[in-house]
Structure 1
């Protein structure tokens, strides 16, 4: 296999290094269809389990998010380099950290608001309107550039912007709702 040719991710590849476990969301990114959606669903389930049984308060979640962001930057960069793809669809840690950020800020919330947050986030992440599209283009690979920390950050950045757009729409909706109440 050509050293510069992109690699196909799979379970054997993922299990070869802990960075790949993280980047692939413990395998959720290896879903044959809609890995970003599956990764977001995994993030939601993991959040609910950790929040319920992990004994982590809001301040603890802030630390988890900060550490997950730094660790994820490393894992996404390394995995993208090894796959020789600047922003592989199988890397879903960006969805995980972004959706955890949303849940951290909206919880406790009922199932309806959680579903709305999920749907809005998936819309912003998949369609990439406005600022999300700008964030996605900002860190694309330049001609002659090797995959590096810049692209690793780019993998995370557009999803963080999608999370902020989701939070903005939710806050706007809640403000309008309370104003009309």
Structure 2
């Protein structure tokens, strides 16, 4: 039986020889042949499961630290393959989803709602997400638009949680 990685198209697999390649591609999840952003977001749920146990200040510190590390990693990948904001860079999805799921109450339905809301804003790109996506480039631009989508996601999910707690 062939290993999964054999079916992943791309000489870009060589990026995994460097730690920045692992970080930027969401530890390889960005190599999914289709819907890499969605696959990367799904992969982000595994570390989130542990992050959610942290106190809020530590959770946000991890998000900020991973954002900064991922700016460097995304820039490294961009420099290697000479493509601005390549689809295989999914560390931005990780940060965006983690921001959306910040302070999420328990329940698989809330995880599903948070996931769907984040993907909605990541794809729709309302302002200023669209501005960051179009005007900012390199590792920082690649990361910022999804972080902003994550903030929109968090605001939306927080509103839904508040409405739900009031029985609406």
Q: Which bin holds the TM-score, normalised by the shorter protein? A: 0.7 to 0.9
Q: Structure 1 residues 106 and 56 mapped into 2: Cα distance closer, same or farther (>3 Å)?
A: closer
Structure 2: 5+ residue stretches without partners: 1-9
Q: Structure 1 residues 51 and 153 mapped into 2: Cα distance closer, same or farther (>3 Å)?
A: closer
For residues 136-147 of structure 1, the aligned pairs below 5 Å read: 136-140=133-137
Distance 1:174 1:56 in 2: 20
Moved >6 Å (runs of 4+): none
Deviations 1:108-145 (CA, angstroms, capped at 9, x unpaired): 431111100100111111222333222211214xxxxx
For residues 133-172 of structure 1, the aligned pairs below 5 Å read: 133-140=130-137, 151-172=138-159
Structure 1: 5+ residue stretches without partners: 1-7, 141-150
Aligned length: 159
Does the 8 A contact of 1:9 with 1:30 survive in 2? no
Matched, 1:72 2:73: no
Q: Structure 1 residues 77 and 132 mapped into 2: Cα distance closer, same or farther (>3 Å)?
A: same
Distance 1:92 1:155 in 2: 9
Aligned-residue Cα RMSD (Å) equals: 2.1
Q: From the CA coordinates, give the structure whose radius of gyration is larger.
A: 1
**C-alpha displacement at 1:165, in angstroms?**
1.1
**Could you tell me the TM-score, scaled by structure 1's length?**
0.78
Distance 1:31 1:37 in 2: 9
Deviations 1:19-47 (CA, angstroms, capped at 9, x unpaired): 01000011000000001001100001221
Q: Structure 1 residues 61 and 180 mapped into 2: Cα distance closer, same or farther (>3 Å)?
A: closer
